[in-house]
Structure formats: C-alpha cells, structure tokens
C-alpha cells in the first residue's frame, strides 16, 4: 500500500486536500462558539480549479449540534462516489455517510480524539503568515498562509494552504490549496436549518467501512 501511494503521489495529495476541506467543515464548525459568532447557517460550498472553472458544488447545513454536507467536494479520485451525504450528530456522538447511487450507508461514532489531534495540528502550524484582509461572501476576513505537516501511512507530507478567516464563523470561509484549487462558501443564509435535515435516512443498506460507502474499495 505504501509503495502504491508513493507512486501515486498526486492521488495522495488529492485525498489530503479533500480531508482538509472536510476537517474545516466538520471539526471547526463543531467547536464551541464565542460571542458574536454565527453558529447556524446554510451555504453552497463551491470548489473551483486553478483556472477558475467550477469543479463541484456541495450544500452545507450547520447548527450548534448537527452538521450536514450534501455532495463530495472535488476534484475526486477515480472511483470515488460523488453523490454522498455526510451527517454528524454531535449530541448523539454519531456520524453517517450515505451513498445515494448505490443506496448504501455507513454509521460510526465520532472520533473525538482524532478531532482534537487535527485541531492541534492547525493550532501548532509549522508556519503562519498574515497576508492582509479581504471580504468573502460579504464578511471581512483575515487572509493568511498556513503550513502544516500531516502523517499519512508512515509518510510525512507538508501542506501549505491560504485561508480566509472571519471572526463571525469558526471555520474559514475560503481555502486555497497548493495546486490552486479553491473552496469557498457562497450564498450564506443565517436562517437556522430545519431539524429534519439531520434525521437518519431510510431505504439504505448498511456497510461496515467508510471505503465501501464512498466507492473507494481497493482490489
């Protein structure tokens, strides 16, 4: 496996990029809020390529106790399902992944230790450089470049991202990766999402691992 990942380094970087996007959404939005922060909202999560073309559009729903992501942020590795829904219920300590094409779902408990490790990674970045201030979706943000080191399957990968952080939201409103891909929250609505969005879905067959439900099972 390790030799496969070394050979397909671009694939590994894509996985890391997707992981970072999901980290910013699920983990940082689940943190406690400070006074004045917006804790309930919905928005379009739009990913664009280096040339500005739209690669994917996902829908996000956030409340203080639950989070939902419809659609996998791209560009996606070959074979990965795109029509996915992720639901995280913090009060119940549960998270669900639904594959709508194959009618599969995976259920797991939230790995809080892993969440804390990733938060520490960003709190203790290798390097951080403030680049100025810019508005994103109408909100004033601090723009900064952050470099972190992530360990995946025994390999250390240094990753540099530019993030736009508003003091009204826990997670960045815009993230740019090393290869120029950008993920940005657009059409932000601060109306609290309906509780019905976070209920488990019916009519799906349960599988026992994340790779299967995401369509990434390796031979």
Residue that has been written with the tokens 């059409």 in this structure: 187
Give the number of C-alpha atoms closer than 13 A to the C-alpha of residue 155, restricted to the C-beta side.
Answer: 16
Instruction: For residue 101, give both structure tokens.
Output: 């094409």
CA angle 164, 169, 174 (to 5 degrees): 25
**pTM of whole model > 0.85?**
no
Whether the link from the prior residue into 120 is cis, omega within 30° of 0, is no
d(CA 99, CA 104): 5
Could you tell me the pLDDT band of residue 113, with boundaries at 50, 70 and 90? low
Lowest mean pLDDT among 23-32, 121-130, 131-140, 148-157: 23-32
Average pLDDT over residues 85-99: 89
Tokens of 80: 């990965």
Question: What CATH code is carried by the domain that includes residue 65?
Answer: 2.50.20
Question: What is residue 174's predicted lDDT score, i.e. its pLDDT?
Answer: 93
What token pair was written down for 38? 């917006």
- Residue 27: the pLDDT is 52
Place of tokens 């694939």: 11
Residue 44 located in a structural domain: yes
Q: What is the pLDDT of residue 135?
A: 96
**Is 164 within the bounds of a domain?**
no
Q: Angle CA(84)–CA(115)–CA(117) in degrees, nearest 5?
A: 135
* Domain-located, residue 12: yes
Q: What is the mean pLDDT of residues 163-190?
A: 90
Q: 203: alpha, beta or left, given left = phi > 0 and alpha = psi -120 to 50? A: left
Q: How far apart are the C-alpha atoms of 73 and 54, rounded to whole Å?
A: 11
Q: For all residues of the chain together, what is the average pLDDT? A: 78
- Number of folded domains in the chain? 1
CA dist 14 and 203 (Å) reads 31
**Spatial CA neighbour of 169 closest among 55, 29, 44:** 29
Would you say residue 73 has pLDDT above 60? yes
Distance CA 74, CA 36 (A): 32
* 60 in any annotated domain: yes
Label residue 105 by pLDDT band (50, 70, 90).
Answer: very high
Confidence of residue 177 (pLDDT cuts 50, 70, 90): confident
95 part of a folded domain: yes
The whole domain housing 101 covers: 2-124+183-213
User: Is 87 inside any structural domain?
Assistant: yes
Spatial strand order of the sheet with 205-206 comes to: 127-136, 139-152, 155-165, 174-176, 182-189, 41-48, 54-62, 66-70, 84-89, 94-99, 104-109, 205-206
> How many Cα atoms occupy the beta-carbon half-sphere of 54 within 13 Å?
9
Residue 156: per-residue pLDDT? 72
């Amino acid at each position: 496996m390790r030799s496969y990942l070394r050979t397909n380094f671009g694939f590994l970087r894509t996985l890391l990029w997707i992981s970072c996007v999901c980290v910013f959404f699920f983990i940082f939005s689940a943190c406690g809020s400070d006074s004045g922060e917006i804790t309930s909202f919905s928005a379009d999560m739009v990913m664009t390529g280096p040339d500005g073309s739209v690669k994917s559009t996902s829908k996000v729903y956030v409340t203080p106790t639950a989070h939902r992501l419809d659609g996998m942020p791209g560009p996606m590795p070959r074979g990965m399902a795109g029509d996915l829904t992720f639901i995280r219920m913090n009060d119940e300590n549960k998270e669900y992944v639904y594959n709508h094409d194959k009618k599969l779902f995976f259920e797991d408990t939230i790995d809080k230790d892993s969440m804390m490790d990733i938060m520490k990674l960003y709190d203790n970045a290798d390097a951080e450089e403030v680049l100025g201030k810019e508005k994103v979706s109408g909100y004033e943000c601090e723009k900064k470049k952050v470099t972190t080191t992530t360990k995946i399957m025994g390999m250390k990968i240094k990753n540099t991202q530019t993030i736009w952080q508003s003091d009204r939201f826990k997670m960045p409103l815009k993230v740019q990766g090393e290869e120029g891909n950008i993920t940005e929250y657009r059409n932000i609505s601060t109306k609290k999402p309906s509780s019905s969005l976070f209920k488990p879905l019916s009519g799906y067959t349960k599988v026992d691992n994340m790779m299967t439900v995401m369509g990434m099972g390796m031979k």
